[in-house]
Amino acid sequence: MQRHWYRQFWPWFLIVLPLCAVAASLYTFYLASSGADSMVVDDYYKKGRAYNKDLSKLKRAADLKILAKLSYQDDQVSLELEGGQKAGEAIRVSFTHPTLAKEDHLLVMTSDAAGVYRERLEVPLIKGNWNLKIEAIDGSWRIQERISLPIKDPLMIRAGS
């Protein structure tokens, strides 16, 4: 006597394969639609024009021969500046991750009596590449560099290099 179709192996095997493909495609659709791409900028034209205007700040930093010595140890950023920075003036330091916008850090730092800018981060910087931007609080000059963390020795960053 022949068994019913639902008690045999092959019909269920042939049904499960397409169901797995459907489940995988639904999960892929969920992953694709659950988060926005943080690398894509809506106003790319305005950003490009603003970038061209900002080149004058980089040139100003090169004219002032600004040199920055950056250290990052135990979640503490310390920075020493030589050049056109006035003593006691605040600076803006930003660490931007190339692909993860939620990991970015913007610091407003003031120097201590020795002229060293120090700041302890609540959330540590993750390992990998970072875009570092150091600029005067009034926006008169800027230096920027691509760095890779972790660093063991202090980094020397020259304006215009």
Q: pLDDT tens digit string along 17-65?
A: 999 999 999 999 999 888 766 666 667 677 666 666 668 888 888 888 9
The answer to whether 160 and 83 have CB atoms below 8 angstroms apart is no
pTM: 0.67
* pLDDT higher than 80, residue 84: no
Look up the CATH number of the domain holding residue 151. Answer: 2.60.40.10
Beta-carbon count within 10 A of 60 CB: 19
What range does the domain containing 67 cover? 56-158
Section 93-109 average pLDDT: 92
Strands (E), the chain: 67-73, 76-82, 91-96, 105-109, 116-120, 128-136, 142-149, 155-158
**Cβ count within 10 A of residue 3:** 7
User: How many whole angstroms separate alpha carbon 158 and alpha carbon 88?
Assistant: 21
Is residue 77 a part of any domain in this protein?
Answer: yes
Number of domains in the chain: 1
Distance CA 67, CA 101 (A): 27
